[in-house]
Amino acid sequence: MSRYSVFAVAREAFRNHTGWQRAWRSPEPKRRYDVVIVGAGGHGLATAYYLGKNHGIRNVAVIEKGWLGGGNTGRNTTIIRSNYLQDPSAAIYEKSRALYENLSQDLNYNVMFSPRGVMMLAQTEHEVRGYRRTAQANALQGVETEFITPERVKELCPIIETRGPRYPVLGALWQPRGGTARHDAVAWGYARKCSEMGMDILQRCEVTGVTTEGGRVTGVTTTRGDIGCGKLGIVVAGHSGHLAAMAGFRLPIESVALQALVSEPIKPCMDVVVMANTVHGYMSQSDKGEMVIGGGADGYNNYTQRGSFHHIEETVRALIETFPMISRLKMLRQWGGIVDMTGDRSPILSKTPVEGIFINCGWGTGGFKAIPGSGWGFAELMAKGESPLCAAFGLERFREGRFVDESVAAGVAH
């Protein structure tokens, strides 16, 4: 695979861009792989990449029923932050954020990481107390955050109305190195590197069954034939319950559609990411100028993967109090993705009751930011059978009542 560089762009400019190679191969499935990953979202692809890069395991297939990155990875609002409360969460999210800092160089693919700063507004006394506590926890965890005043909020983001009638801004939790990245590029960059290492990415190939023998995984049945494997990683977000059922175990996961929308593009007016959890909305401005707006989840479990109209009104009405200038914007697009929610709002990175099957899910409304860290840890878990990054996120925590409670940090978890 030839390297992307400024020289490559210049060279191709002189030959009408006829020399670019395909970013990844579209191979026929082999009969057997050492490792099969189900789900070519960010987490599945990152797992495959770090299996190859960190552990030398390259006889790997990533199986995807649609197109790679077409699930939640290509549908999210791209917020990256690591200001979580509990130590195990801060560790994995900060590892991830740190990997994002150099991901473009590592993958030789511009993922457009933009550490423009993320602020979480405190609009009630309860939130002020919560975020002050998180800032102190973050200081102990080595995560750079601070609690800032309403005046500083206004300075960083002049379009915010800090004296709103119902929910004035009382301060904010500010993470200066949080930000955004281009979601498709993250999936594409990992996919390109996996393909370069000789791994097979099998798109339009749905896993329809899991085969086992004597309590151990032997392979999967797919719409493109049976594929044998030594180890199986299930990384399918909202569809985790279905895959677990195929393998004969149950998961504490609920699947629900999470909503987002973007406005028409306007001139630059906001160069930070703002999350307003009390009114339940969050907003950033994309490089194209669109205001990227995230809303809530549908109030009922479903797999519809499409926008729901009542959320447009709810989300926009909520945000207008804090951002009056958006009241005249026209909406361009709205969509939804099926997110996988656990009771403690923390992920599951775990072995399962079936020998050789590992599960990575439960990232819910906030797993885009975790893609590099999750891939790093889950690859280690699959390769070695244990990983310090994943230790607290095993399935057994639900039986033992050892939750990693992030419901405050992750009420709106993006």
Q: How many helices (H) and strands (E) does the chain have?
A: 11, 18
Smallest distance from the beta carbon of 216 to ligand FAD, in angstroms? 21
Tokens, residue 9: 């762009």
For residue 391, the 8-state DSSP code is G
Tell me the one-letter amino acid at 43: H
Distances from the Cα of 240 to the Cα of 234, 258, 260, 312, angstroms = 7, 16, 22, 28
* Residue 90 touches ligand FAD, criterion: CB under 6 A: no
> How far is Cα 315 from Cα 324, in angstroms, rounded to an integer?
13
* Residue 350 touches ligand FAD, criterion: CB under 6 A: no
Cα gap 142→240, rounded to integer Å: 33
Question: Which residue lies nearer to ligand FAD by CB, 35 or 207?
Answer: 207
Are residues 142 and 87 in contact, defined by beta-carbon separation less than 8 angstroms?
no
Cα–Cα distance between 160 and 95 in angstroms, integer? 31
Minimum Å gap between C-beta 257 and ligand FAD is 7
Instruction: Note whether 75 binds ligand FAD by CB under 6 A.
Output: yes
The span of 25-33, 42-50, 104-112, 151-159 binding ligand FAD (CB under 6 A) equals: 42-50
Among 260, 274, 382, 404, the residue binding ligand FAD under the rule CB under 6 A is 260
369 binds ligand FAD (CB under 6 A): yes
In this chain, which stretch among 13-21, 211-219, 253-261, 312-320 interacts with ligand FAD, using CB under 6 A?
253-261
Among 47, 78, 175, 315, binds ligand FAD (CB under 6 A): 78
Distance CA 344, CA 47 (A): 23
176 contact partners, CB below 8 Å, separation of at least 6: 115, 117, 144
Comparison of 162 and 367: residue with beta carbon closer to ligand FAD: 367
Cβ-based nearer residue to ligand FAD, 225 or 324: 225
Q: Considering the rule CB under 6 A, would residue 186 count as an interface residue with ligand FAD?
A: no
Q: What residues line the site for ligand FAD (CB under 6 A)? A: 38-44, 63-66, 70-73, 75-79, 206-207, 235-237, 239, 258-260, 294, 337, 339, 363, 365-369, 414
